[in-house]
A and B are shown apart, each in its own frame.
Chain A
């Protein structure tokens, strides 16, 4: 067991993690900042974000307008003080990225261009073609190379966070390269590990999005907030779940049913294709239930029509959509309809943090999709997540650096670390025989997809909770099929599955206890929003038995909850 120490440890190397690391490293060259990621940072899933980043930078826009769109989109569950902070800082972050070289699209005058996005009342989505996340991540990563006080631990899998007396002390990590187990001592840490889309069967998320950070925090007693709010993106390719960006509709694409009519006129007549994601996803599910979907080998779907945009516009604004459609379904959107259906996309919920991104544990912060400040409430508006990563990544970096300057390392009881080392090497690796993780993984995905999906009800949610419990029981019999030490991806899958089960438990229980419909959480048995009882954030705590649920009132500043109509 090796020992390293760093002032600030950033877990995760995506947009939020890199932004946090850069911010912390730039506070003082004396601070040593570590980025610990289970993949090379440029492989992080930010890379797949397509549409863009929202910020009020144009003269026809203002902070209140962006804030209200966000709050209305969130079905009034967002904390309004957080949203106000977010919209005020977002433009600065966008300009900062532009100064670092991010190739945002430009208008004819050479200024940053904006496009339409769902749920926004003006054009405010800054973009770089339809590969915004890719450009943003690579800009951040390449910029991070400038800082000599940033140390990267590439392909280190974090297995636990060590906390003593409610104070962060360090992390334990498995180096995939050589199979060595390390203890990284730190003064402060930032969880920026992204979402947990892998707990669903049909998801736009990559294989690495297994909710590691959420589960790490959950296990040390930090509550997870609003986990029942899972966003389903309306347009994903059937079969693979590859994301077809909302930008396609922002640039003027239509959604059609099998009668070739724009069916959204019956659901969101004023916004049509630019409605919020939760409503459009439910509309598509409903159309398919009514028998208005096209038949396909991966189930029924609706169609996305870009033909009227013309080849030139598609090439300029949506080149990746065209490439993806051609490669994965063999369709050229210039002349043909793209088949699409809703798929899991984003977790509005995450590690419970305050406005400074600090968790209840001293010295532990969280940012990005893994955290829940909450600006997204019950439904995130498209293109709010990239600026969220930047804004709250920067805030977390700043506060973690401050914490590290003001505090010293804490003393760790090494027995706790040895217990963790034993858990991995003796319990998982050395166990003679057991079941394969894939068996549990696919059952979990199936359960979440069917029972904690777009439309939910009491009976199915209860079944889901029981099923997850059963799978957790089964997990105790899992053993590694690969007993070697170097780049053992089998053990990684097992550790990830362990995290996924914890996150799935939090999602299912949170959903079970929220007996209303709000934003992305739609209960067929409680189809109305209930502000009297549930205008509050769900907090879910891990206990030895069932998870414990608590509620936290929503912070309201200027905008009283009103009916959400588009």
Chain B
């Protein structure tokens, strides 16, 4: 079995120091980077901390920076990346320990963009809303976000100012703005027009490049800019 080296950038929170550890990991053609990390945890170094769960790119736990690129390690094969593999915690978030970062700030932003359907009056439970398939297509991509936070790591704007609502939360704002069942359009456009919202985006476009689920936040943010500009112009 071939072997490769994992170079992991680590953080010891008790001493407050960064350091690197190197491990030799055997792999096959279908071994993912996550399996490699689990191998390290089980057999080489039990002090290494990282998050993971579903191992099928759905839960969004295992976002890390692999060879300087934000990556979901469960869906990336060792074979497909440059070796030795250099792994860092996600950029732009406070580091808790090793590869574990604190993403609480995103959950605040999610709440801030009002990530739920708002209606004047709730309908009875025996009646479904009529939503045409083409209306559903409009939110197909923006509703696929798994909150893996790769886009925040790839966003230098968020990196230099964490006030920025950021790619994923803005994509989710776009999703609720375009949901035919939602009745809070003006409220949502107001959020999109804020200083730390869509306009803060300088259109780097890396959020879309790193997204493992094809969400395209960059597109959604540009659309939010257009929508809120037109709205503010004609109201």
A and B touch in the complex (CB under 8 A): yes
Residues of A within 8 A of B (CB): 39-40, 42-45, 47-48, 57, 92, 95-96, 98-101, 103, 105-112, 131, 134-135, 138, 142-143, 145-146, 154, 177, 206-208, 239-240, 242-243, 323-324, 327-330, 436, 438, 442, 480-482, 484-490
Bound: A486/B102 CA distance, A: 12
Which of B41, B52, B116 touches A146 (beta carbons < 8 Å)? B116
Q: Is the CB of A47 within 8 A of B146?
A: yes
B61 contacts A43, CB within 8 Å?
A: yes
Contact of B53 among A57, A207, A485 (CB under 8 A): A207
Do A42 and B147 touch across chains, with their CB atoms under 8 A apart? Answer: yes
CB neighbours of A489 from chain B (8 A): 41, 49-51
Asked if B69 is at the interface of the complex by the 8 Å CB criterion, the answer is no
Which positions 130-156 of chain B face chain A at CB distance < 8 Å?
A: 130-133, 135-136, 139-140, 143-147
Q: Find out whether the CB atom of A101 lies under 8 angstroms from the CB atom of B60.
A: no
A residues within 8 A CB of B120? none
Q: Which residues of B contact A438 (CB under 8 A)?
A: 41-43
Q: What are the interface flags for B143-181 relative to A under an 8 Å C-beta threshold, 1 for contact and 0 otherwise?
A: 111110000000000000000000000001000100101
- Is B47 a contact partner of A482 (Cβ separation < 8 A)? yes
Some 20 contacts from A to B, beta carbons below 8 A apart, are A39-B51, A39-B53, A44-B59, A100-B116, A100-B117, A101-B117, A105-B136, A110-B131, A111-B130, A131-B58, A207-B52, A207-B55, A436-B42, A480-B46, A484-B12, A484-B14, A487-B97, A487-B100, A489-B49, A490-B46
Instruction: Decide: A239 and B110 in contact? CB cutoff 8 A.
Output: no
Chain A residue, CB-CB nearest to B122: A99
Query: Does B117 lie within 8 Å of A45, measured CB to CB?
Result: no
B47–A481 CB distance below 8 A: yes
B: which residues have CB within 8 A of A?
A: 12-14, 30, 41-43, 46-47, 49-61, 75, 96-98, 100, 102-104, 107, 110-111, 115-117, 119, 122-123, 125-133, 135-136, 139-140, 143-147, 172, 176, 179, 181-182
Q: How far is the CA of A509 from the CA of B42 in the complex (A)?
A: 29
The 3 closest A-B pairs by CB, nearest first: A481-B46, A438-B42, A110-B130
Question: Which residues of B sit under 8 angstroms from A239, Cβ to Cβ?
Answer: 30
Q: Which B residues touch A480, using CB under 8 A?
A: 46
- The answer to whether B58 and A487 have CB atoms under 8 Å apart is no
B172 and A142 within 8 A (CB):
yes
Kindly list chain B residues whose C-beta atoms are within 8 Å of the C-beta of A329.
30
B143 CB contacts on chain A under 8 angstroms:
103, 135, 138
Let me know if B129 and A134 touch, CB within 8 A. no
Inter-subunit contact A482/B53 (CB<8 Å): no
- Nearest CB on A from B123, distance (A): 6
Q: Is A484 touching B55 in the complex (CB atoms < 8 A)?
A: no
A206-B54, A486-B14, A487-B13 given. 17 additional CB < 8 A pairs? A39-B53, A43-B51, A48-B54, A95-B125, A99-B125, A101-B179, A101-B182, A112-B128, A134-B58, A138-B143, A145-B115, A207-B54, A328-B56, A330-B30, A484-B12, A487-B100, A490-B47
